[in-house]
Chains A and B, each alone.
Chain A
Amino acid sequence: EAGVVQSPRYKIIEKKQPVAFWCNPISGHNTLYWYRQNLGQGPELLIRYENEEAVDDSQLPKDRFSAERLKGVDSTLKIQPAELGDSAVYLCASSFRKGYEQYFGPGTRLTVT
């Protein structure tokens, strides 16, 4: 079974530029999560989708971050414009339903210069 796929794995951009991350969850998983992991810390949830509906986006900085999961399968997380403080690893995870075991992708390491 294929795991959670994320791309790109690494991204270096200058501040004020836009950036987008893509995630393809495990087939059949209805719940998709985006986390941000700062250096030396555990992941923190940014947004959770149940199918195509964002049901928990309370931690998403909505002034610059946006996310979509149009067909309830893959998802895109966007930052526009990026700031230096956005440098982190962005992890995508999926689960069969909410509360079930979450499977994580390898993450995208973002560096903003």
Chain B
Amino acid sequence: AQSVTQPDIHITVSEGASLELRCNYSYGATPYLFWYVQSPGQGLQLLLKYFSGDTLVQGIKGFEAEFKRSQSSFNLRKPSVHWSDAAEYFCAVIKEYGNKLVFGAGTILRVKS
């Protein structure tokens, strides 16, 4: 069965510092990959997605993610974090087009001033 691992439960960064959130998936072929953000009391918002092509994907709010097939990873990055980025971030995969999303357990980002 496919699975998604987000090894960091909590991450704290200073405002203005760079950010990298890790995501690894377990599946033989290349799945479709997503990053979602969830603010307290809110639903999930899609930040970016990777289906094929360029392995560096740009998303909303200044986020980007890089797909590395050799490492089965899809890490999320942002060069300079803002206090409003504090939220929970979920990595998710679809095994193949049309199948259900499988989510990781999430990483809670705290931003300190």
Contacts and interface: CB of A to CB of B under 8 A. Distances in A.
Interface of A: 3-4, 33, 40-45, 48, 56, 91, 93, 98-99, 101-107
Interface of B: 4, 9, 36, 41-46, 49, 90, 92, 94, 97-101, 103-106
A42 B105 contact: yes
B97 A101 contact: no
Contacts of A44: 103
A98 B98 contact: yes
Q: Classify the interface of chain A: helix, strand, loop or mixed.
A: loop
Contacts of A104: 36, 43-45
Contacts of A102: 46, 101
A109 B42 CA distance: 11
B43 A56 contact: no
Contact of A99 (B9, B94, B106): B94
A48 B100 CA distance: 9
A91 B44 contact: yes
Looking at B46, B90, B100, which has the most chain A CB atoms within 10 Å of its CB? Answer: B100
